[in-house]
Amino acid sequence: MAIHLTDTQREVQALAREFAGNEIAPNAARWNEAREVPLDLLRRLGGIGLLGVVVPEEYGGSGLDATSLCLVMEEIACADAGVSVAVAAQNGLVASPLLRAGTDEQKREWLPRLATGEVFGCYALTEPDVGSDAAALRTRAVATGDGWEVTGAKQWISNGGIADLFIIFARTGGEGAHGISAFITPRAEGLVVGREIPKMGLHSSSTVEIALDGLRVPGSGLLGTEGGGLTLALATLDGGRITIAAQAVGIARAALELAVAYASERVAFGGPIARLQGVQFPIAEVAAQIDAARLLTLHAAALRDAGRPHGAAGAKAKLFASSVAVRAADVAVQTLGGYGYSAEFAAERYYRDAKITEIYEGTSEIQRVVIARSLFGDAAR
């Protein structure tokens, strides 16, 4: 599990760290208070290649790998987890399935624009009554003479409010996993982006409901094979959970750095509280856990880059890293005491942002299912 970064990976890590420190961190509190999605900033991320990290150079991207994306995600999430959602969506939830299943025409049309931030995309799988059990989705696509007509509803769609491009999963056949297909479509009549859903955290990101009322998608909008949608969706999430693990590491690191800085400066009982074991030990434990979470995450990314099975490794990384993020944020709030509970300090934002990493792109319970099935096989079903 030793991680050896290449010069290129270190360079993109340094680029992301510098940009995050100079352009994101100083503005994060303001964006979150205003619940603002900083579109200009996101387009600048595209301009330096961070929205198209995994997009091949032939399509205008950086042509890098999953490990590089994890390094970028940690740096951006450390500055503002909400901003990192757009990076994850562009690279993992939109570009990844396009690269896996798209036609040459679909790739040429959309990947260069996604990589630069000219357009933003989203991945519409979850529905009001369908979350973890994706095979039960109800949105339906009916074949017409020249394409498909899609009707249904989607919920909790990250990036949806700023999206120009939508990857939509709908039922084209019978019940169950094999009746689902994927479609790619720009905004069009019959696709209504609903309200921004009020959230506990990630206030600088967009999360919306989508209504599909007779949306017409041409035959060329089928992504992959008919009936292959759920396989594509789950393969996308296999990679996406690694990206979210990296996001969780970034949030945890930000919380740790804040706790260390505060404890080193806060004076009580005749000196800095950092000399007190009751303060030291929780922070020290979190520091060890963050290093372990990062190693699990980069190990899973390295397996993906090598073309090796990575589903269980990604599940382990997300399960552990998300729990560490929640723990680190809790320790930061506790270390800061009353200031940690105040919205004027970043600790409470980290506390709110961390929790979602245990929920989206597969809850912690689902990650345990994935891990258990990798251990027990059919006996676990």
Q: Catalytic residues, which ones?
A: 361
What whole-number distance in Å separates Cα of residue 356 and Cα of residue 375?
A: 26
Count of positions (residues) in the chain: 381
Backbone angles phi, psi at 184, to 5 degrees: -125, 130
> In this structure, are residues 195 and 207 in contact, taking their beta carbons and an 8 Å threshold?
no
Task: Annotate 216-254 with b (16+ C-beta within 10 A) or e (fewer).
Answer: bbeeebbbbeebbbbbbbbbbbbbbbbbbbbbbbbbbbb
Residue 376 CA to chain centroid, in angstroms?
Answer: 28
Task: Annotate 121-130 with b (16+ C-beta within 10 A) or e (fewer).
Answer: bbbbbbbeeb
Q: Of 287, 176, 160, 155, whose CA–CA distance to 231 is shortest?
A: 176
